[in-house]
């Protein structure tokens, strides 16, 4: 299922657009084409009162599996991304959006964030990672498009997605699909499901396997818009931090090192000596910026889609214990594995092992390094005792031929995520258990969710690189350090001998750009860096995260005996207990905080003549004992900070009640309230009122208003510092470090949600026609939203606010945000943001809230045409407002409030917010055959960043799909789908892949065949 449509007038939109969803109706018969897809057992999403009609007062979209089969059975990711009520969705191979999320489909209703969408399986909580959702066993998916914290507790501000499995399936069913994708080996899946027991006990078991095949970036033309710098090219995937740089010749090393480049490496004895020319830079696909910057395009090393395997197992047991008691238990398991999520050949250097902080002059190559001597001779340099690079990256041009075992030329992450869940409970009437309350219903359940997430995110170990530049690199080097006055091994006689290796940092070390097939004219045969030395430079930075979630639910419901003109008042009372636990394991000593600084603990350095040796422990830069390790204990990596092991637990208790008040035969009101308490002394009381009024015949009005809440994420530690990479506009869009410091006074975020809808259902232009139209207005306001308080890119732009992105003041009294910038060599008025800073810090805490408003439209028109039935369906969402509140940091107004509607929202990490999303489906059923044409639409978003960007105004994305399905003899069905028939590329955007992966997809035209067989 794809996404798209076109900008048309409101009237044309109503007539011509449609979607895949149809709301569940209880009071009238559905259109003729829907009769075959009705289900007997009703699970109500959004109410605890039995018998509450699905269309009572709440906006619920229902997607039956039969309807989805007519669209070619979209994958979980395709389904999630196609929802018009959904915002940016994770799950693609999008390295820059968090590689650990690849393959883990999250739902993001209303674009408020996946953490604000509650996921249920058969009405019970499940993990946000829906990898264990048993797609083959589903009967339907219900989506509540309204806040539901009163009914379900926290995490439901944006809405609820409830997956509901088949009821008492008997038989055997198998299915398989294959999707042809140009440039790829294709995607495929198989599944089998069996069920036994037609009487009081029924057992259902299913197993599924899905595979996605690799799709390289160079297989699509739209990614190539970044390869050749020039007018209209995409500059996003270019980095000025590369292994082709300029070198500064240095004199003798100072006897006593100090925290400046000359104080540690010696005075410069000449100007910058470039390791390339404009011609040799271009020869390897580089962009010549200046004599120390041959920028490189890293996107050829990445992939649009990675090899991905998903496994699912599901078992469900239903039993009638007695006439008044039923038992239900289900267990589900899911696993998503990606052997590779390819990234850059090496991370950029935002800091190194030098005493002075920053990204420049962090490494030193002594003239004793044979490659340094060769470089000096080649460039006619005399008298230099060593060289420092202006900036540097371990690998860039030439790729990394070793880390991924030759299967690609980048540094690949590995992902292995496992999710399992078990839920069991009983429900029925109290009956013999309590004769006085015979008509009182009960529902008791216990649910346990468990998630294991493993991912790597490799980085260069800075001090190892420096050791190798000195000739003491490699896993087999054990030379004795003869000079403890300096960091690193000092033993000239042992350098480059007995297992000790030299690193060649110069342009002579690589043959060429391997992905594009370009040759390096500076390459010298035999000067390559050896594999074991290159691998020794990296730590995979593996992290294991284990999450547990236990929930106990007990609900009583019934009729009160109090009768109103519209009927008897219904009620529900309940309690819920939740226990959450999270543990982060970090096996590597380099990554778990054991090595606090750029040099390992207990490495010594003298603090001046006659002084004792010092350990490089974190010390303020103004302290006379400062040895290059700042108080934030940045660890040994050149970009990322350590990932500290952690453990957190939290308990939640809540009581809730609900009333259904049928005031009149045509007026029904529902009231609900919940009080919740958390083990960390936080709590919330929320309420909700909703109602339905059947005005006359075909017209019904409905509305709701309620409050919701969201607690701080489990494991958030006040004062904790997290480091990630971000791209900065004033730094020529380079990726540099960003620090997120967690506030000590976090509190829950809250929200107010309201919905007002009109429902029209009647005959159409003839008696045998059916027409249905639903229009809902939604309004959601969040407050004290938890997350980054100010975006690092915005902070940098406010500091470098002069012409061309330059500094206008270095006075912290005039610009308090200066303290949040880590400069490479101090602040100088007039200097550019390019190559002058290495990191920006910001707060993680309660920030401004969001307001989002708009309309949902659902329409269906069904009529007989010839020997078959024609249905035209509409699902569309028009967002009319999406605004973020004002932001201040350190007394500075970062933003007066962002109008995010219709923009790419790059400042919020590419959370695109289109005004319109809509889906059109024209379906014709002819006996055993079904024909469906789908047109899908996402409106254009504008890039809000200053200046002219690639894809500045975006484009409407319109795709067209066609599916043919036929039921063959022997209970077999064949489905053929052509998706994106006109092979439309996703809209251009100044992002690394040239498009927005959280909204679009890069597959182009695809062809799919599916077979389903019942036995």
Q: What is the DSSP string of 206-245?
A: EEEEEEE--EEGGGSGGGGGGTS-STT---TTEES-SSSB
The per-residue pLDDT for 681 is 74
- Give residues with Cβ within 8 angstroms of 325, minimum separation 6: 426, 427, 428, 431
Among 871, 645, 781, 939, CA closest to 22: 871
Q: How confident is the model at residue 111 (pLDDT cuts 50, 70, 90)?
A: confident
Overall average pLDDT of the 622-647 stretch: 83
**Percentage of residues in the chain with pLDDT exceeding 90?**
65
pLDDT of residue 439 exceeding 90, the answer is no
The per-residue pLDDT for 909 is 52
pLDDT of residue 499 exceeding 70, the answer is yes
The per-residue pLDDT for 709 is 86
Q: What is the pLDDT of residues 298-349, one digit of tens each?
A: 999 999 999 999 999 999 999 999 988 999 999 999 999 999 999 999 999 9
CB 184 within 8 Å of CB 170? no
pLDDT of residue 44 exceeding 90, the answer is no
pLDDT of residue 608 exceeding 80, the answer is no
The per-residue pLDDT for 835 is 76
The per-residue pLDDT for 201 is 96
The per-residue pLDDT for 327 is 96
Q: Burial level of 924, CB count in 10 A (0-12/13-18/19+)?
A: middle
The per-residue pLDDT for 25 is 34
Phi, psi of 913 (to 5 degrees): -130, 80
**CA distance linking residue 736 with residue 239, whole number of Å:** 10
pLDDT of residue 423 exceeding 50, the answer is yes
Q: How confident is the model at residue 945 (pLDDT cuts 50, 70, 90)?
A: confident
CB 1000 within 8 Å of CB 985? no
Q: How confident is the model at residue 13 (pLDDT cuts 50, 70, 90)?
A: very low
Q: What is the pLDDT of residues 843-873, one digit of tens each?
A: 998 888 889 999 999 999 999 999 999 999 9
**CA distance linking residue 782 with residue 911, whole number of Å:** 17
The tokens for 976 are 């053929």
Q: What is the pLDDT of residues 452-474, one digit of tens each?
A: 999 999 999 999 999 999 999 99
CB atoms within 10 A of CB 503: 28
The per-residue pLDDT for 260 is 85
Q: Give me the sign of the Cα torsion angle 380, 381, 382, 385.
A: negative
Q: Which helix (H) or strand (E) holds 467?
A: helix 462-469
pLDDT of residue 125 exceeding 70, the answer is yes
Q: What is the pLDDT of residues 180-204, one digit of tens each?
A: 999 999 999 999 999 999 889 999 9
Which segment of 403-407, 603-607, 917-921 scores lowest on mean pLDDT?
Answer: 603-607
CB atoms within 10 A of CB 152: 26
The tokens for 475 are 């896993």
CA dihedral 990, 790, 462, 295 (to 10 degrees): 20
Which segment of 93-97, 128-132, 142-146, 936-940 scores lowest on mean pLDDT?
Answer: 93-97
Phi, psi of 16 (to 5 degrees): -105, -10
The tokens for 596 are 């606090």
Angle at 256 between CA 390 and CA 626, to 5 degrees: 75
The per-residue pLDDT for 154 is 84
Angle at 569 between CA 563 and CA 573, to 5 degrees: 150
Q: How does the average pLDDT of the chain come out, rounded?
A: 88
Q: Where are the alpha helices (DSSP H) in 229-349?
A: 261-265, 278-283
Which segment of 36-40, 256-260, 663-667, 786-790 scores lowest on mean pLDDT?
Answer: 36-40
In terms of average pLDDT, the best of 291-295, 639-643, 745-749 is 291-295
Q: Which 3-state string (H, E, C) describes 414-437?
A: EEEEEEEEEEEEEEEECHHHCHHH
Straight-line distance from the first to the last Cα atom of the chain, in angstroms, rounded to the nearest whole number? 28
**CA distance linking residue 122 with residue 443, whole number of Å:** 13
CB 349 within 8 Å of CB 256? no
pLDDT of residue 15 exceeding 50, the answer is no
- Give residues with Cβ within 8 angstroms of 517, minimum separation 6: none
**CA distance linking residue 315 with residue 802, whole number of Å:** 63
Q: Give me the sign of the Cα torsion angle 217, 219, 220, 221.
A: positive
Phi, psi of 372 (to 5 degrees): -70, -40
The 124-125 sheet, strands edge to edge = 60-64, 138-144, 159-165, 117-121, 124-125
Overall average pLDDT of the 821-831 stretch: 89
* Coil, helix or strand at residue 78: helix
The tokens for 274 are 């470039």
Q: What is the pLDDT of residues 640-649, one digit of tens each?
A: 888 889 888 9
Residue 972 CB-half CA count within 13 A: 7
Q: What is the pLDDT of residues 523-576, one digit of tens each?
A: 999 999 999 999 999 999 999 999 999 999 999 999 888 999 999 999 999 999
- Give residues with Cβ within 8 angstroms of 800, minimum separation 6: 730, 806, 807, 832, 833
The tokens for 253 are 């090393």
The per-residue pLDDT for 12 is 32
CB atoms within 10 A of CB 203: 16
CB 865 within 8 Å of CB 926? no
Q: How confident is the model at residue 434 (pLDDT cuts 50, 70, 90)?
A: low
**CA distance linking residue 461 with residue 468, whole number of Å:** 11
CB atoms within 10 A of CB 148: 28
pLDDT of residue 10 exceeding 90, the answer is no
Phi, psi of 477 (to 5 degrees): -90, 125
CB 980 within 8 Å of CB 1002? no
Q: Which helix (H) or strand (E) holds 582?
A: strand 567-585
What does DSSP assign to residue 944?
Answer: -
The per-residue pLDDT for 817 is 95
**CA distance linking residue 527 with residue 544, whole number of Å:** 38
**CA distance linking residue 330 with residue 422, whole number of Å:** 6
The tokens for 524 are 């010298």
> What is the distance, to the nearest Å, from the Cα of residue 175 to the centroid of all Cα atoms in its chain?
30
**Percentage of residues in the chain with pLDDT exceeding 70?**
92
The per-residue pLDDT for 204 is 97
Q: What is the pLDDT of residues 758-811, one digit of tens each?
A: 999 999 999 999 999 999 999 999 998 888 888 899 899 999 999 989 999 999
Phi, psi of 551 (to 5 degrees): -130, 135
The per-residue pLDDT for 433 is 66
685 bridge partner residues: 675
* Coil, helix or strand at residue 66: helix
Q: What is the pLDDT of residues 873-906, one digit of tens each?
A: 999 999 999 998 888 899 998 888 888 899 998 7
CB atoms within 10 A of CB 53: 17
């Amino acid at each position: 299922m794809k996404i798209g449509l076109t900008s048309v007038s409101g009237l044309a939109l109503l007539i011509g657009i449609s979607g895949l969803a149809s709301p569940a109706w209880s009071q009238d018969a559905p259109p003729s084409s829907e009769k075959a897809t009705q289900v007997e057992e009703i699970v109500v999403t959004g109410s605890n009162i039995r018998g509450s009609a699905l269309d009572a007062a709440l906006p619920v979209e229902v997607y039956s599996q039969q309807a989805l089969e007519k669209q070619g059975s979209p994958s979980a990711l395709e389904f999630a991304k196609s929802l018009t009520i959904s915002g940016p969705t994770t799950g693609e191979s999008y390295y820059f959006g968090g590689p650990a999320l690849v393959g883990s489909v999250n739902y993001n209703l209303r674009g408020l964030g996946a953490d604000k969408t509650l996921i249920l399986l058969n009405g019970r909580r499940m993990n946000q990672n829906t990898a264990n959702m048993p797609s083959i066993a589903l009967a339907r998916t219900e989506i509540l498009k309204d806040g539901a914290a009163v009914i379900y507790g926290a995490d439901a501000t944006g809405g609820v997605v409830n997956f509901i499995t088949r009821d008492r399936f008997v038989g055997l069913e198998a299915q398989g699909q294959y999707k042809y994708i140009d440039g790829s080996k294709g995607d495929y899946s198989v599944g089998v499901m069996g069920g036994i027991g037609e009487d009081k006990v029924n057992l259902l078991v299913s197993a599924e396997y899905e595979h996605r095949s690799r799709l390289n970036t160079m297989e699509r033309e739209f990614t190539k818009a970044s390869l050749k710098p020039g007018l209209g090219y995409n500059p996003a995937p270019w980095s000025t931090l590369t292994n082709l740089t300029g070198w500064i010749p240095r004199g003798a090393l100072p006897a006593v090192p100090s925290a400046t480049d000359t104080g540690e490496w010696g005075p410069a004895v000449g100007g910058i000596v470039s390791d390339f020319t404009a011609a040799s830079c271009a020869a390897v696909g580089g962009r010549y910026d200046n004599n120390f910057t041959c920028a490189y395009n890293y996107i050829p090393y990445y992939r649009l889609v990675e090899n991905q395997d998903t496994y699912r197992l599901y078992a469900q047991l239903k039993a009638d214990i007695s006439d008044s008691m039923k038992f239900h238990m289900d267990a589900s398991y899911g696993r998503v594995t990606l052997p590779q999520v390819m990234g850059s050949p090496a991370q950029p250097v935002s800091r190194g092992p030098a005493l002075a902080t920053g990204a420049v002059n962090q490494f030193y190559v002594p003239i004793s390094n044979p490659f340094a001597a060769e470089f000096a001779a080649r460039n006619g340099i005399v008298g230099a005792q060593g060289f420092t690079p202006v900036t540097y990256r371990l690998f860039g041009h030439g790729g990394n031929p070793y880390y991924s075992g030759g299967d690609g030329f980048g540094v690949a992450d590995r992902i292995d995520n496992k999710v399992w869940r078990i839920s069991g409970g009983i429900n029925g009437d109290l009956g013999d258990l309590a004769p006085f309350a015979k008509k009182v219903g009960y529902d008791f359940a216990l649910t346990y969710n468990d998630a294991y997430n493993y991912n790597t995110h490799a980085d260069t170990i800075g001090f190892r690189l420096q050791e190798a530049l000195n000739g003491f690199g490699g896993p087999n080097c054990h030379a004795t350090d003869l000079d403890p006055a300096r960091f690193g091994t000092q033993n000239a006689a042992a350098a480059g001998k007995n297992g000790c290796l030299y690193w060649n940092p110069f342009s002579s070390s690589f043959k060429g750009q391997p992905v594009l097939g370009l040759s390096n004219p500076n390459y010298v045969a035999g000067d390559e860096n050896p594999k074991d030395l290159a691998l020794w430079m990296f730590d995979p930075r593996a992290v294991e995260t284990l999450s547990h979630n236990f929930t106990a639910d007990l609900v009583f419901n019934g009729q009160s005996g109090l009768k109103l003109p519209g009927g008897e008042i219904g009620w529900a009372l309940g309690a819920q207990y939740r226990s959450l636990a999270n543990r982060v394991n970090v096996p590597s000593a380099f990554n778990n905080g054991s090595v606090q600084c750029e040099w390992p603990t207990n490495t010594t350095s003298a603090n001046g003549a006659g002084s004792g040796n010092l350990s490089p422990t974190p010390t303020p830069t103004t302290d006379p004992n400062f040895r290059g390790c700042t108080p934030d204990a940045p660890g040994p990596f050149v970009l990322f900070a350590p990932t500290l092991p952690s453990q957190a637990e939290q308990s939640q208790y809540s009581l809730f009640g609900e009333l259904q008040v049928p005031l009149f035969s045509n007026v029904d009101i529902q009231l609900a309230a919940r009080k919740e308490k958390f083990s960390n002394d936080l709590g919330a009381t929320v309420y909700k009122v909703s109602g339905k009024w059947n005005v006359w015949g075909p017209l019904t009005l409905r509305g709701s208003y309620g409050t919701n809440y969201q607690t701080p994420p489990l494991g958030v530690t006040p004062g904790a510092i997290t480091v990630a990479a971000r791209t900065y506009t004033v730094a020529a869009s380079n990726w540099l470090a960003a620090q997120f410091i967690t506030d000590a006074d976090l509190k829950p975020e809250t929200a107010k949600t309201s919905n007002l809808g009109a429902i029209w259902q009647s005959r159409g232009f003839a008696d045998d026609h059916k027409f249905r139209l639903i229009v809902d207005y939604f309004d959601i306001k969040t407050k004290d939203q938890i997350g980054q308080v100010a975006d690092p890119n915005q902070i940098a732009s406010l500091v470098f606010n002069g012409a061309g992105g330059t500094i206008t003041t270095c006075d912290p009294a005039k610009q308090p945000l200066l303290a949040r910038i880590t400069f490479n060599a101090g602040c100088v008025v007039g200097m550019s943001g390019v190559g002058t800073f290495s990191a920006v810090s910001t707060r993680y805490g309660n920030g401004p809230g969001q307001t989002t408003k708009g309309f949902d439209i659902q329409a269906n028109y069904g009529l007989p045409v010839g020997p078959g039935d024609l249905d035209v369906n509409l699902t569309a969402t028009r967002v009319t407002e999406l605004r973020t509140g004002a932001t201040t940091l350190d007394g500075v107004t970062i933003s007066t409030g962002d109008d995010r509607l219709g923009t790419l929202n790059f400042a919020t990490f590419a959370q695109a917010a289109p005004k319109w999303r809509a889906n059109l489906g024209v379906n014709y059923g002819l006996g055993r055959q079904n024909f469906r044409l789908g047109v899908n639409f996402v409106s254009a978003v504008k890039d809000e960043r200053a200046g002219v960007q690639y894809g500045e105004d975006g484009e409407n994305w319109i795709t067209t799909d066609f599916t043919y399905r036929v039921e063959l003899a022997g209970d077999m069905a064949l489905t053929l789908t052509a998706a994106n028939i006109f092979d439309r590329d996703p809209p251009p955007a100044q992002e690394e892949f040239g498009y927005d992966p959280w909204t679009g997809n890069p597959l182009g035209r695809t062809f799919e065949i599916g077979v389903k067989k019942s036995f």
